[in-house]
Amino acid sequence: MYPVSDRFRSLVRGSHVAAVDVYVLDPVSQQPLATLHPLGGSVSVDSTRAVRRTLTMTVLDEDGTLSDPEGLLGPFGTEVVVRRGVTWSGQTEWATLGVFMLTGQQVQDSGEGRIVSVSGSDRSLRISRNRWTQPTQIAASVTYQEAIRRILVDRLPGIEVVTLAGANNTVPADRVLGVEADNDPWKDARELAEARGWEVFFDQDGRAVIQSVPDPELTEPVEVYEDGPEAVLTSIDRQTDTEQTYNGAIVCGEPADGVPVRAELWDTDPGSRTYYLGQYGKRPKFLTSALITTQTEAQTAATALLARSLGATSKIAWGQVVNPALDADDVVEITREGVAVAQRLAVATLTIPLSVSDAMTATAKEVTV
């Protein structure tokens, strides 16, 4: 959850005065060039995507300065910061929703004014697009955290990298990046993180974060939503689908020089609907990586992989009064008798509107505690 005050968290649970603004960053100083007030749009957050945060936005172009493809909102490297806040006593406290590189622009002129629609993605897309133009080596003596950091900083100089991950082993062998014509530096960074049971993504403030995959069973809920006169949820539904439901994780390490290693974990809770010895059967998710060279590393990666996979049988989707501080991977507790929901949920996706009158939507998977 984005760090906000208790006053903020209390106000967003009921009727409040919301504010939304977007400012365009100067590419050199990273200071605001202009502040815009969008007509609509949304920020989408999805913890399962390679690009975690995306943006759609519409603004009114009153003087023609926003419609130029090479102007303030031109999709050629322009970055914007999107915020949504709460105003009380004449002051606004903000929760930043993301730093986005604009990727597309559409202009519509109805005769009553120009409406500019733009789309954008978080900074991971900048790294992905900045392909290796010659082979780049990561030496075996470099730690995983440092290897990931070097990739990110090399492809996007000046970014801040925050490391929250655990044990930090060294890369098992020299690794050469960029030998393929269609290489992807962001994929390289994600593969290194996955081999350690970590994830790497860009947060609301545009910082690259390297962290261990959160275990929702060990995480206290950041919000509790209950039925009653002060209910925050506006709608909720439960969807049950086993298409993407796995109850096991099998990780195989295939080092170039050494003995292959293997770790296997299952849903061993007899009370679970996906108990691996029950009616559901065994449905593992696989990961194979040359970066995994020890049994401990394989076990760590399998634990993270299983944590991401369990609980996907039932997906809970809901609408709620907007809380812009909520984020993917946050754990919430929901009680709603109408759809028989009374449990903790790990937020998977969020759609946060830029219109002050629209509701926020979210989806989550079940958490067994």
Tokens 């106000």 identify what position?
A: 11
The fold of the 127-212 domain, in CATH, is Phage tail protein beta-alpha-beta fold (3.55.50)
In angstroms, the CA 119 to CA 220 distance is 34
In angstroms, the CA 104 to CA 109 distance is 17
- Here the tokens at position 339 are 């759809």
Task: Determine the CATH number of domain 6-121.
Answer: 2.40.10
Percent composition of the chain: helix, strand, coil (DSSP 3-state, to 5): 15, 40, 45
DSSP notation for 173-184: S-EEE--STT--
Number of separate helices (H) and strands (E) present in the chain = 5, 21
Half-sphere exposure of 73 (CA within 13 A, CB side): 26
- CA 139 distance to own-chain centroid: 29
Can you give the residue ranges of every domain in the chain?
6-121, 127-212, 248-309
The answer for 229, left when phi > 0, alpha when psi is -120 to 50, beta otherwise, is alpha
- Here the tokens at position 297 are 């590393």
Give pTM, 2 decimals: 0.85
pLDDT value at residue 98: 97
H or E segment and range at residue 195: helix 185-195
pLDDT value at residue 65: 82
In angstroms, the CA 11 to CA 348 distance is 24
pLDDT value at residue 340: 63
Mean pLDDT of residues grouped by 10 in the chain (369 residues)? Answer: 94 89 89 92 94 96 83 89 94 96 91 88 96 90 91 95 80 83 92 89 96 81 82 81 82 78 92 88 88 85 82 75 93 78 84 92 74
pLDDT value at residue 92: 94
Are 354 and 57 within 8 A, CB to CB? yes
Evaluated on CA atoms 213, 216, 218, 222, the torsion sign reads positive
In angstroms, the CA 129 to CA 270 distance is 46
